[in-house]
Amino acid sequence: MSSALPLSTKLAHVVAIEAGAEKAFVKSDPHLEHALSNTAKNGMPSIQVSPLQGQLLAIQARFIGAKTVLEIGALGGYSTICLAKTGAKVTSIEIDPKHRDIASENLRAAGIEPDIILGDARNVLPELVREARVFDMVFIDADWGQHADYFDWAVKLTRKNGCIFIDNVVQEIITCHDGSVGKGTLVERVGAEKKVTATLVPKITGKEGVTDNAFIDGFLIAIIN
């Protein structure tokens, strides 16, 4: 059944639906709440995954029985905690020393021993490949302009039937490529990679308002064949 509702009304419904789903599905977690408050208290940007997205990451990790996860971009450790609470060992790469330190604080407060590699992922990822490291899942949430290169390294670092999850893909396409999914873009690179089966899930978030394209986004998920 098609709806004749105006776009503004539909967007308002999105806000209400997302808020309602978060209230219904996401249980209170003092460790995650502390991570959010401590991250904000230290003047860091509030750009971590939402509670619903964090829960999605945890569900995905449990789907595949992930025991090891590589995270590119730790920020304050919110998503790290979501993944670690599934029982997985999470290794994070973080370029910013302050972010590394605050994430470590938040992880220890949650009873999780941090494993955060300080450095530029463009340098760290090749080193992990040289060390023959293999992960069950790779979560990429950093530096939109490098998504395609990070993906290439993630393919080398993920086991068969493991998954690669890349956040902010639609925003990357809009912001870095003017909406193009052509040559050299992440979508083109993923589509050309025979070792994976992938999909892209666009979404509209109800956080902070949805009329600006900054709140239109989506993620890409791929499985290693």
Residue 19's pLDDT is what? 83
CB 117 within 8 A of CB 92: yes
Residue 211's pLDDT is what? 47
Write phi, then psi, for 85 (nearest 5 degrees): -70, -10
Residue 180's pLDDT is what? 64
Q: Which residues contact 130 (CB under 8 A, 6 or more apart)?
A: none
- Ranges in the chain, pLDDT < 50: 209-211, 213-214
Residue 2's pLDDT is what? 54
Query: Which residue segments constitute the domains of the chain, with CATH numbers given?
Result: 7-224 (3.40.50.150)
Paired sense of beta strands 116-118 and 89-94, if any: parallel
Place of tokens 């009873």: 111
**Can you list the positions of beta strands (E) in the chain?**
68-72, 89-94, 116-118, 135-140, 158-166, 196-204, 216-224
Q: Which two tokens stand for residue 17?
A: 């639906």
3-state secondary structure of 17: helix
Q: Which two tokens stand for residue 58?
A: 């945890």
Residue 208's pLDDT is what? 52
pTM of the complete model = 0.90
Neighbouring CB atoms inside 10 A of 8's CB total 10
CA 128 to chain centre: 20
